Structure 1
Amino acid sequence: MALAPGGVTPSSTRVMNLSHFLTQTARRNPDDIGFVWRERQWTWREMDARVNAMAAALRDEFGVAKGDRILVQSANCNQMFESMFACFRLGAVWVPANYRQSPDEVAYLAKASGARGLICGAGFPAHAAAACRQTAPGIRFVLSIGEAEFGDDYDTVAARFAGRTIPSVAVDRDDPCWFFFTSGTTGRPKAAVLTHGQMGFVVTNHLCDLMPATTRDDASIVVAPLSHGAGIHQLVQVAHGAKSILLPTDKLDVPTVWALVEKWRVTNAFTVPTILKMLVEDDSVDRFDHSSLRYVIYAGAPMYRADQKRAMEKLGPVLVQYFGLGEVTGNITVQPPAYHCVEDGPHARIGTCGFERTAMQVEIQDDAGNPVSPGETGEICVIGPAVFAGYCDNPEANAAAFRNGWFRTGDLGHMAEDGFIYITGRSSDMYISGGSNIYPREIEEKILLHPDISEAAVLGVPDPVWGEVGVAVCVARAGAVPETIELERWLEGKLARYKMPKRFVWWETMPKSAYGKIAKKLIREELERRGELGPSERGLSA
């Protein structure tokens, strides 16, 4: 065996199988409630037993082996949660789809992932049919969650293997455990390969940086699909024995969220800014006791200053922000509660997404990959154990995503002298007007300071004179009349003239992605669909 520098023989790359988190918690706290959904509750012992049964079924009845990919199309439920650990236990790869995607989109995921099996909610027959039409190498079996005309019933199959104990398959650090599909806002979704070793670090890092002192006495509420960030968040809860509470319906019902927070004395929640905004602006936030909350974690998109302040006024000093793409599983920066401040002033770090996560390094780089000076805008790049293994079967995407070992986030920003990082926006969002770089995030922040504005998005569109100009799409607060809001006049003196949007468009609602984010791609498509872009703004000759 070759020697590493310094004459040390490389050690084994064997790591803990992630499913062992559940085994450990079931051993320590077998009779604690671990999972709550609707009127049902499961102890950790029961959850571990159900995962064992499903792992046995997948292995012995359907031939699932280490490395096989299992596609899951389901709304949040206990079976979806269990399927994660059953796949991990066998060394198989969990491939969750966002249940709001179309049948054709899920069929693409089936083909792109090379799925060998499908676990599908009974309410998605078209998705199951579309996925099964795909080949290379082809889906060999289908399990339905709930009574359905397709597949074998998940619970019936699991019941046949009740009482079985399946040891976790041995895994190495770089063995894949999860295909985390990107949102595909600029093209087809890509399968980011998450591994057992990487995710072991991510769980530890989340517990260290996002919700320190989490124990079996804590409780977490799930308000987002388990297919992405919320699934990672719940894996973290399992590691320390904190119970997870699912919402009873697929649709977000804000009063129900607050009622569950009160009933279960919820201590932490993971969400995105748009959902957090809905939670704190609903009247029900004042009708229920939410004093148990210690950490309300938001990520996935920047949170505007006006919304931050409103959330802190309602919930107190509990906000935790992190910045991190799926490819880095959320582990780039953190801004703990102590660095969130209601009052503007020298101690309020307005606009920051925090500082580097533990054991992660961030560098702001120019187009050639060189580090830029503090305060200078460039691309946010990152290295560290939380960075994914690369995109599955996509060498072109991998070549574009990595440079000199650094993962390129595609986000623009700058780092202050003290290490705090500020996001300017996606590199794809920036536009050039009259030779000047325009960053929509800055303009959106200013617009949202207006008391009658609820949501705003600024996009660059072609212009025959200036190259590109901004179009601001705005949503007024309830009760406000858009025609009476003189936004351009209100922005005078707050924004340089060259940054002023050329037009302001008013909509009743803003289109959002399947994860609740305001997506510029969807907004641009909606502008075109409504005919609100002229020929030159669509890049056409007049």
Structure 2
Amino acid sequence: MFMIEWGALTVAELVDRACRRHRDRVAVMTEAGEKRTYGELSDRSWRLVNALNGLGYEKGARVGILAANCPEYIEVEFACGRGGFVKVPLYVRNTPAEHCYFLADADVDVLIGEASLLDGIAARLEEEGVAKRPRLIAIDAPGDAEALEYEELLIRASSQSSRPHLLPTDPFQIRYTSGTTGRPKGAVSSHQAMVVASLGNVVHNSWEDPVLPGDVLMHVIPFSHVSTFNIIGHSLYGVTHLPFKKWDPDHFLNAVQEQHVANVLLMPTQVNMLMTQASALSTADASSLKTLVYGGEPMAAGVLDAALDRFGPVLTQGYGSTEAPSLIIGLPKSAHVGHVAKARGPACGWAMPWVETAILDLEGQPVARGETGELVVRGPFLLDGYLNNPAATANVLRDGWYHTGDIGRMDEDDCVILADRSGDMIISGGYNIYPAEVEAAILTHPDVLECVVFGAPDPTWGESVRAVVRLSDGAVLTTRALSEHSAGELARFKFPKNIFVTSDAFPKTDAGKTLRRALRDATADLEELA
């Protein structure tokens, strides 16, 4: 029954309920100790809705957000839900060129963000001579771009409720993902999908230790990534949000101790850094920590055991995707310890109550229990489709199922165990890196004739990016020169850590496709680019 109720709600209704129930409770606090109550957050989000309405933007307008984790990000989240705006989150580590592609593809009307980041985008738009440019709003001190000031807009706007008529099926956000070929794709999700995803996260995080009013929820992973799904549902429960801007293991432990953090979501890479690099690991007081959710990639067994020894049975694993943003499968704390421990190996867990899963073969038929196939899922949380890309939509949404592209099996007690990814996507530090995007940037160098990119195991990041290139005859190229050449088109963290060079033409299939695996396996015999 609760799924019927969830599916009938909009993000606006969840925000309104949270702000009414917890008006005087602290909604968000900064690392510096500044605090805003739910009442203040409600006031400021309505001011933002009315300010945008005053600038001519109504329901359906696309509002981009480009900022590190901060209180204003949560205000934008609330305002988009209440005003019927379609949120388009951008990742701060991408380049202006990458951002401009997203802005154009999503036809963004307004971009709210940090001034320094807006300056880079404005310069790139000017350089490209783009006719339609989004209106820029700076949440901090204005920079060189002609941006409106966020605080000034809020001061001048009314705080009166002005919500348009909203339906659960109305679009709420466009989040960009990608495959191993082609341009990044904008996954369009409805209010209904966001409500189910966000409330689902609370249910998952409350499996064995309930989320309570006043619990401090630290947001370490960027809001432009999966942390955004912990905002709305947890607000309904009256938590205090603590945005964390820059990852540092000791800084994290200090914040847990000083702010009495109860709940946090980390990537396995960050847990690894905690256990191997934090000087305060043995002395910091982390007794307030009730739930540490991890996901995005497998956790090394040694790291998991060390984390359980240090923090106790607080770890729980989750798995989802941009297209199916709800937690699809989860592994509770009790399954991490003792004779029932299942966490030492590939990502795994049980389907959440609102998720239907199946393992299918190449013909789309269910496989026998224990056999390997593609994980497919369905439920009221799936994307509506990819923006402007019906072919890609048809490829992943078939017969009501979302095809994840992840390979796995289901064991005798219904636990889903993920074995591999059907694509070539690289997961480094919890972030998705798509080989085709990196290859395209490297291939813009005039001396590079061929390029293939792939992932390699990395003890710190899970996977690191590697590449093999074939250069033109007589060319002399260094890794640094190639990195500098690609800097304007490719975020730094996506650039290969190791580049190998060959003078031979790349091996191909009969269809002319590069044999990626053969090149990956040949790197031991190749010379590394200086």
Contact 2:6 2:196 survives alignment (8 Å):
no
Structure 1 residue 41 corresponds to structure 2 residue 35: yes
Structure 1 residue 272 corresponds to structure 2 residue 267: yes
Counterpart of 1:305 in structure 2 is: 301
CA positional deviation for 1:187: 4.0
Structure 1 residue 233 corresponds to structure 2 residue 233: no
Residue type of the partner of 2:227? A
CA positional deviation for 1:241: 0.9
Q: C-alpha deviations, 1:413-457, integer Å up to 9, x for none?
A: 111121001111111249xxxxxxxxx99xx9xxxxxxxxxxxx9
CA positional deviation for 1:109: 0.5
Q: Which among 20, 36, 45 is matched to residue 13 of structure 2?
A: 20
- TM alignment of 1:224-263, pairs within 5 A: 224-247=221-244, 250-263=245-258
Structure 1 Cα separation of the partners of residues 193 and 365 of structure 2: 27
Structure 2 Cα separation of the partners of residues 337 and 417 of structure 1: 20
| Cα separation, partners in 2 of 1:204 and 1:14, compared to 1, 3 Å | closer
Counterpart of 2:280 in structure 1 is: 284
Structure 2 Cα separation of the partners of residues 239 and 12 of structure 1: 15
Q: Which stretches in structure 1 are left out of the alignment for 5+ residues?
A: 1-10, 431-439, 445-456, 460-469, 478-510, 512-518
Counterpart of 2:53 in structure 1 is: 59
Counterpart of 1:110 in structure 2 is: 103
Normalised by the size of structure 2, how large is the TM-score? Answer: 0.77
Counterpart of 1:467 in structure 2 is: none
CA positional deviation for 1:530: 4.5
* Identical amino acids, percent of aligned pairs: 28
Q: Which stretches in structure 2 are left out of the alignment for 5+ residues?
A: 436-453, 462-482, 484-490, 508-513
Structure 2 counterpart SS, 1:143: strand
| Cα separation, partners in 2 of 1:533 and 1:388, compared to 1, 3 Å | farther
CA positional deviation for 1:14: 9.1
Counterpart of 2:366 in structure 1 is: 371
| Cα separation, partners in 2 of 1:254 and 1:415, compared to 1, 3 Å | same
Contact 2:64 2:88 survives alignment (8 Å):
yes
Counterpart of 1:531 in structure 2 is: 501
Counterpart of 2:446 in structure 1 is: none
- TM alignment of 1:80-479, pairs within 5 A: 80-124=73-117, 125-130=119-124, 138-147=132-141, 148-150=143-145, 151-161=147-157, 163-182=158-177, 186-212=181-207, 213-247=210-244, 250-281=245-276, 282-341=278-337, 347-348=341-342, 350-351=344-345, 352-429=347-424, 473-475=457-459
| Cα separation, partners in 2 of 1:159 and 1:210, compared to 1, 3 Å | same
Residue type of the partner of 1:243? T
Structure 1 residue 68 corresponds to structure 2 residue 61: yes
| Cα separation, partners in 2 of 1:135 and 1:114, compared to 1, 3 Å | farther
Contact 2:216 2:241 survives alignment (8 Å):
yes
| Cα separation, partners in 2 of 1:319 and 1:159, compared to 1, 3 Å | same
| Cα separation, partners in 2 of 1:534 and 1:79, compared to 1, 3 Å | farther
Structure 2 Cα separation of the partners of residues 14 and 226 of structure 1: 23
Contact 2:385 2:393 survives alignment (8 Å):
yes
| Cα separation, partners in 2 of 1:183 and 1:221, compared to 1, 3 Å | farther
Structure 2 counterpart SS, 1:277: helix
Structure 1 counterpart SS, 2:213: coil
Structure 2 counterpart SS, 1:285: coil
Structure 2 Cα separation of the partners of residues 112 and 133 of structure 1: 18
Q: Which moved more, 1:186-195 or 1:364-373?
A: 186-195
Q: C-alpha deviations, 1:251-307, integer Å up to 9, x for none?
A: 312222111111221111012111122123323222211111111111222223222
Residue type of the partner of 1:319? L
Q: C-alpha deviations, 1:209-234, integer Å up to 9, x for none?
A: 23342121211111111112111112
Residue type of the partner of 1:48? S
| Cα separation, partners in 2 of 1:232 and 1:533, compared to 1, 3 Å | farther
| Cα separation, partners in 2 of 1:417 and 1:534, compared to 1, 3 Å | farther
Counterpart of 2:450 in structure 1 is: none
CA positional deviation for 1:346: 6.0
CA positional deviation for 1:24: 2.0
Structure 1 Cα separation of the partners of residues 212 and 460 of structure 2: 42
| Cα separation, partners in 2 of 1:475 and 1:275, compared to 1, 3 Å | closer
Q: Which moved more, 1:103-112 or 1:71-80?
A: 71-80
Residue type of the partner of 1:426? R
Structure 1 Cα separation of the partners of residues 226 and 128 of structure 2: 27
Structure 2 counterpart SS, 1:327: coil
Structure 1 Cα separation of the partners of residues 126 and 50 of structure 2: 23
Structure 1 Cα separation of the partners of residues 412 and 11 of structure 2: 38
| Cα separation, partners in 2 of 1:272 and 1:532, compared to 1, 3 Å | farther
Residue type of the partner of 1:45? G
Contact 2:273 2:460 survives alignment (8 Å):
no
Residue type of the partner of 2:354? A
Structure 1 Cα separation of the partners of residues 150 and 180 of structure 2: 33
Counterpart of 2:467 in structure 1 is: none
Contact 2:272 2:460 survives alignment (8 Å):
no
CA positional deviation for 1:242: 0.2
Residue type of the partner of 1:287? T
Structure 2 Cα separation of the partners of residues 177 and 359 of structure 1: 20
| Cα separation, partners in 2 of 1:476 and 1:55, compared to 1, 3 Å | closer
- Which structure is richer in relative contact order (CA contacts within 8 A, separation 6 or more)? 2
Normalised by the size of structure 1, how large is the TM-score? Answer: 0.76
Contact 1:17 1:168 survives alignment (8 Å):
no
| Cα separation, partners in 2 of 1:378 and 1:48, compared to 1, 3 Å | same
Contact 1:391 1:398 survives alignment (8 Å):
yes
Structure 1 Cα separation of the partners of residues 317 and 218 of structure 2: 17
Structure 1 Cα separation of the partners of residues 300 and 503 of structure 2: 26
Structure 1 counterpart SS, 2:385: coil
Counterpart of 1:79 in structure 2 is: 72
How many positions carry a matched residue from both structures?
Answer: 450
Residue type of the partner of 2:42? D
Contact 2:18 2:38 survives alignment (8 Å):
yes
Contact 1:272 1:299 survives alignment (8 Å):
yes
| Cα separation, partners in 2 of 1:12 and 1:317, compared to 1, 3 Å | closer
Structure 2 counterpart SS, 1:26: helix
CA positional deviation for 1:139: 3.4
